[in-house]
Amino acid sequence: MIAGEPLDLDEKKQQAADWFRQLRDDICQRFEALEEAAGESQLADSPPGRFERKPWQRPEGGGGEMGLMRGRVFEKVGVNISVVHGQFSEEFRKSIRGADEDGRFWAGGISLVAHPHNPFVPTAHMNTRFIATTKSWFGGGGDLTPMLPDTEAAEAFHAALKTCCDGHDPAYYPKFKEWCDSYFFLNHRQEPRGSGGIFYDNLETGDWQADFAFTRDVGCCFRDSYCQIVAERMNQPWGEAERHAQLVQRGRYVEFNLLQDRGTLFGLKTGGNIEAILMSLPPEVRWP
Q: Is 133 helix (H, G, I), strand (E, B) or coil?
A: coil
Angle between helical axes of 208-233 and 151-166 (0-180°, round to 10): 160
Is residue 116 near a second copy by the rule CB under 8 A?
no
Angle between helical axes of 172-183 and 151-166 (0-180°, round to 10): 130
Q: Are 142 and 222 in contact (CB under 8 A)?
A: yes
Q: Which of 189, 202, 213, 224 binds a second copy (CB under 8 A)?
A: 189
Binding span for a second copy by CB under 8 A among 23-31, 121-129, 130-138, 266-274: 266-274
Other beta carbons within 10 angstroms of residue 258's beta carbon come to 14
Binding span for a second copy by CB under 8 A among 46-54, 144-152, 160-168, 273-281: 273-281
Is residue 259 near a second copy by the rule CB under 8 A?
yes
Q: Which of 70, 85, 104, 135 binds a second copy (CB under 8 A)?
A: 70
| Total residues interacting with a second copy, rule: CB under 8 A | 24
Is residue 268 near a second copy by the rule CB under 8 A?
yes
Is residue 278 near a second copy by the rule CB under 8 A?
yes
**Range 6-35, binding a second copy (CB under 8 A):** none
Q: Are 109 and 72 in contact (CB under 8 A)?
A: no
Is residue 38 near a second copy by the rule CB under 8 A?
no
Minimum CB distance to a second copy smaller for 76 or for 129:
76
Give the distance, in angstroms, between the CA of residue 126 and the centroid of all CA atoms in the same chain: 2
Amino acid occupying residue 75: E
What mask of x and - would describe binding to a second copy in positions 132 to 151, judged by CB under 8 A? --------------------
Q: Is 24 helix (H, G, I), strand (E, B) or coil?
A: helix
Q: d(Cα 125, Cα 234) in Å, to the nearest integer?
A: 17
Tell me whether residue 125 is one of the annotated catalytic residues: yes
Annotated active-site residue in 85, 115, 117, 125: 125
Is residue 164 near a second copy by the rule CB under 8 A?
no
Minimum CB distance to a second copy smaller for 219 or for 272:
272
Is residue 125 near a second copy by the rule CB under 8 A?
no
Q: d(Cα 266, Cα 71) in Å, to the nearest integer?
A: 29
Minimum CB distance to a second copy smaller for 159 or for 259:
259
Is residue 171 near a second copy by the rule CB under 8 A?
no
Is residue 258 near a second copy by the rule CB under 8 A?
yes
Q: d(Cα 126, Cα 122) in Å, to the nearest integer?
A: 13
Is residue 86 near a second copy by the rule CB under 8 A?
no
For 26, residues 6+ apart whose C-beta sits below 8 A from its C-beta are: 223
Query: Sheet harboring 74-87: ordered strands across?
Result: 52-57, 62-69, 74-87, 104-116, 123-132, 136-145, 196-203
Residues that bind a second copy (CB under 8 A): 70, 76, 187-189, 247, 251, 254-255, 258-259, 265, 268-269, 274, 278, 281-288
